[in-house]
Amino acid sequence: MRRDTAEGTNINRKRVHQILREELGMQKVCAKLVPKNLTPEQKARRVELCEEWMNADLEEGILNRVVTGDESWV
C-alpha cells in the first residue's frame, strides 16, 4: 500500500510510512487472502466458526471489537 500511495502521490515511501503510522495512527494488523471457491468441507467449517462467533458475541460482545475492511477501493 505504501508503494502504491507513494507512486500515486509522488511522495517518498518513507514519508508515506511516517504519515500513515505517526500522523494517522494506522497500523497493519492482518493481511489474509480468502479463497473464492471453497470446498464443501471449508464451507461447513466456516458455518461452524460463524456460529461459534455469534454465540460468543451474545455472551461477551466480541464482535464489537472486530475491525474488518475491504481494500478493493485502493
State how many domains the chain has: 1
- Residue 52 pLDDT > 80: yes
Residues with Cβ within 8 Å of 6's Cβ and at least 6 positions away in sequence, in order, are: 12, 13, 15, 16
Question: Which pLDDT value is given to residue 44?
Answer: 93
More confident residue, 33 or 62: 62
Q: Indicate the pTM of the whole model.
A: 0.36
Which residues form the domain of 31? 2-73
For residue 27, name the pLDDT band (cuts at 50, 70, 90). confident
- The candidate with the shortest Cα–Cα distance to 2, out of 11, 30, 22, is 11
- Residue 60 pLDDT > 80: no
**Angle at the Cα of 33 from the Cα atoms of 29 and 57, rounded to 5 degrees:** 60
